[in-house]
Amino acid sequence: MAQAPAVVQPRKVPSAWSRTCASLGFWAFQYRRTWRGTVVSSILTPVLFLAAMGIGLGTLVDEGGRLGDEYLLFLAPGLLAATAMQTATFESMYPVMGAIKWVRTYHAMLATPLGVGNILGGHLLWVAFRVTTTAAIYLVVIALFGAAPSLLALLALPAATLCGMAFAAPIFAFAAGYDSPAGFAALERFVIVPMFLFSGTFFPVSQLPEALQWVAYATPLWHGVDLCRGLVQGTQELADALMHVGYLSLWVGGGVVAANYFFRRRLEATG
């Protein structure tokens, strides 16, 4: 008696979210080899910075040293936002260009069911994870230094992550659209370092000449610094917070759109 033909079940196609998580999982798996070194540096950097700048320099702000504690309260949340910026910048330059040009990690991912959007989304989620964990360590150190007097300081963690991603997404687009690593040196020298120094991290922007004040107000770092500082100190007004969040979100959204365009142009052309 002839057997009925076996019914072939259609292969289940992974959802877009599961494919994005697969991309995220690659970066997490790769990080297993280096996480110890980054955790140590993530702890030592805030401790040394706060000890040198907040406690050491803070006692010299005026002759009597009366502003030492106040300067630490001013400096610590600014460094939180600046650290988020620096972590996001580091994770978004050479890793992205290398995955396109040298190691060709993205091309290998395209040979799987992952699409360009999944590759980009997974890598951005990984950068968000790195920024969040680094900022969390920094926030704990700030609290141990007694520079987080308000419970609103807990909200500074997502604020710092948003600040970091306001840099990560546009730099993803820059790294995907630019073919030479020489551009990263220019980006660091003429964009990241000036923002670190003159966007309110170490002194109020109001101390700058008026023309430069408006330049500082236009930078995403100033918005991140002011948002984190207000939350850590417990003085953040709701209207100002919404303005900062909205402005930083525009940078994230615009960066994601630009990164998606350059990723598709580079990967689909050479895939």
In this structure, of 24-38, 45-59, 180-194, 256-270, the range with the lowest mean pLDDT score is: 45-59
Q: What was the pLDDT predicted at 37?
A: 79
For residues 213 and 240, is the Cβ–Cβ distance under 8 A?
no
pLDDT tens digits for range 189-209: 999 999 999 999 999 999 999
Determine the Cα–Cα distance for residues 63 and 185; give it in Å rounded to an integer: 39
Most confidently predicted of 13-17, 68-72, 111-115, 223-227: 223-227
In this predicted structure, what is the pLDDT of residue 9?
Answer: 56
Confidence of residue 47 (pLDDT cuts 50, 70, 90): confident
* DSSP classification of residue 61: S
At 110 the pLDDT is 95
* Average pLDDT over every residue of 127-155: 93
pLDDT value at position 239? 97
Q: What is the spatial distance between Cα 269 and Cα 243, in angstroms, rounded to a whole number?
A: 39
Query: 68-125, pLDDT tens digit by residue?
Result: 568 888 999 999 999 999 999 999 999 999 999 999 999 999 999 999 999 999 999 9
Question: Percentage of the chain with pLDDT > 70?
Answer: 89
What confidence score (pLDDT) does residue 271 get?
Answer: 54
Q: What is the 8-class DSSP label of residue 13? A: P
Q: Determine the average pLDDT of the residues in 226-251.
A: 97
pLDDT band, residue 40 (cuts 50/70/90): confident
CA distance 71 to 59: 8
CA distance 34 to 234: 36
For 145, the 3-state DSSP assignment is coil
How far is residue 145's CA from residue 143's CA, in Å, rounded to a whole number? Answer: 5
Mean per-residue pLDDT of the chain: 90
Tokens of residue 133, six digits: 């964990």
**Domain locations in the chain as residue ranges:** 36-270
Q: How confident is the model at residue 146 (pLDDT cuts 50, 70, 90)?
A: confident
Residue 229 pLDDT exceeds 60 = yes
Q: CA-based diameter of the chain, in Å? A: 103
pLDDT in tens, 152-182: 999 999 999 999 999 999 999 999 998 889 9
- Among the residues of 93-189, which ranges form H helices? 94-97, 105-110, 116-144, 156-177, 182-187
125 within 8 A of 24, measured Cβ to Cβ: yes
Q: What is the pLDDT of residue 117?
A: 97
pLDDT of residue 12: 66
> Would you say 223 and 247 are in contact if contact means Cβ atoms under 8 Å apart?
yes
